[in-house]
Amino acid sequence: MSAPPGPVAGIGAVVASFTLGGAFLRAEPYGNGHIHDTYCVFLDGSPAPARVILQRINTRVFRNPVVLMENIARVTEHLRMQLDRQLADEGDRDRRALTLIRTRAGHALHRDEGGHLWRAWRYVDRTCSLDQIVAPGQAFEAARAFGLFQQQLATLPTPRLHDTIPDFHYTPKRYAAFEEAVARDAAGRVRTTEPEIAFARARQSIAGLLVDARLPERVTHNDTKCNNVLFDDKSGEAICVIDLDTVMPGFAAYDFGDMVRTMTCSAAEDETDLAKVRVDRSLFEAVARGYLSAAGSFLTPAEKDSLLVGGKLITYELALRFLTDYLNGDTYFKVHRPGHNLDRCRTQFALVASLEEHEVELARLLRSIS
């Protein structure tokens, strides 16, 4: 089972391999990401301990860490160059884009004695990430930040970024993986997931919705859920987009879609009371306004028309991915309780149903904004 991170023996030696100021004090598991093992490291400092984010990379998910880090270096350097041109205050620039910390040997990754790969990030101070969006202001801010992120990366020089996970949002492949998991029934769970399997099959056509759409390829984030952006503690402004592992070529609709999935419903991703899972019109409006306030200037009419479809597609895709992982015995996403992936799947399907129910009204609203 894929479990959340615990304390790691020997983490002090890992910390020592990076160029950090101050002696190692302690490390604590940090954040609620589903993929890597993330730690907040405290270093001796004055007047208060300094912090750094340390991550043990999930190499079952990211099978080519070298190209992963190559992408990340290019993306972070490009963002930083733009901020350097735009902002006078260095402290401000440090908080508005992630900064990788190199190892003492000058590399982006450290390999520990057990063969695990680690990387370190400058800690973005006085911020928080939100696992759930509860107010339209938060939705607007997070969506604006992801729109701005796309805009900033529209000028990334060639060559094309690597696909860090091939076919990441190619939903027909996700559907095929789901059917394969049903056929294999590795964990003996098919018998208890018949309603979910039937729901997925009845909506298989969703998987093909953007396959033949002639949309421009952009540099997209591809994992725009609400806890992948940091909000300033004081102002509430969404100042820094994080989790850059899946930044690669994609459609704008993928990014908007995952915002719809995670920011237009105030229930948690794993909410078990499905009565709470429905799209909230004012959150949806805030996401659309926030995203388009930054991205509206460069999106083509066809891209604008694809956004709502992206919401249904990505929500359905995530439901398939959670269900597939449940059927495979929970090997991909970190889980915190038995049946966790199945709960997450049910929540996503409930949101798909709600998006279907309100499709006409949401399309009208989106058109009136864009």
| Binding-site ranges for ligand ADP (CB under 6 A) | 30-31, 33-36, 38, 53, 98, 121, 123-124, 129, 227-228, 230, 242-243
In the range 130-159, which residues lie near ligand GN1 by CB under 6 A?
none
Name which of 285 and 317 has its Cβ closer to Mg ion.
317
CB of 199 to ligand ADP, least distance (A): 27
Contact between 33 and ligand GN1 (CB under 6 A)?
Answer: yes
Q: Output the CA torsion sign for 253, 61, 166, 108.
A: positive
CB of 56 to ligand ADP, least distance (A): 10
Name which of 61 and 369 has its Cβ closer to Mg ion.
61
Distance CA 308, CA 262 (A): 14
Contact between 225 and ligand GN1 (CB under 6 A)?
Answer: yes
Name which of 36 and 93 has its Cβ closer to Mg ion.
36
Distance CA 60, CA 331 (A): 9
Q: Output the CA torsion sign for 257, 262, 265, 270.
A: positive
269 binds, among ligand GN1, Mg ion, ligand ADP, none (CB under 5 to 8 A by kind): ligand GN1
CB of 179 to ligand GN1, least distance (A): 20
Q: Which two tokens stand for residue 19?
A: 């160029």
Distance CA 290, CA 368 (A): 14
Instruction: Assess contact for 231 and 138: CB atoms under 8 A.
Output: yes
Name which of 243 and 280 has its Cβ closer to ligand GN1.
243
CB of 329 to ligand GN1, least distance (A): 17
Name which of 76 and 370 has its Cβ closer to ligand ADP.
76
Other residues' Cβ atoms within 10 Å of the Cβ of residue 80: 16
CB of 316 to Mg ion, least distance (A): 21
Helix%, strand%, coil% for the chain, nearest 5: 45, 15, 40
Residue 365: which H helix or E strand, with range?
Answer: helix 359-369
Instruction: Assess contact for 249 and 150: CB atoms under 8 A.
Output: no
CB of 54 to ligand ADP, least distance (A): 10
Residue in 71, 127, 193, 228 binding ligand GN1, rule: CB under 6 A: 228
Instruction: Assess contact for 284 and 264: CB atoms under 8 A.
Output: yes
Task: Give the ranges where 210-339 is alpha helix by DSSP (H).
Answer: 252-263, 281-295, 301-327
318 binds, among Mg ion, ligand GN1, ligand ADP, none (CB under 5 to 8 A by kind): ligand GN1
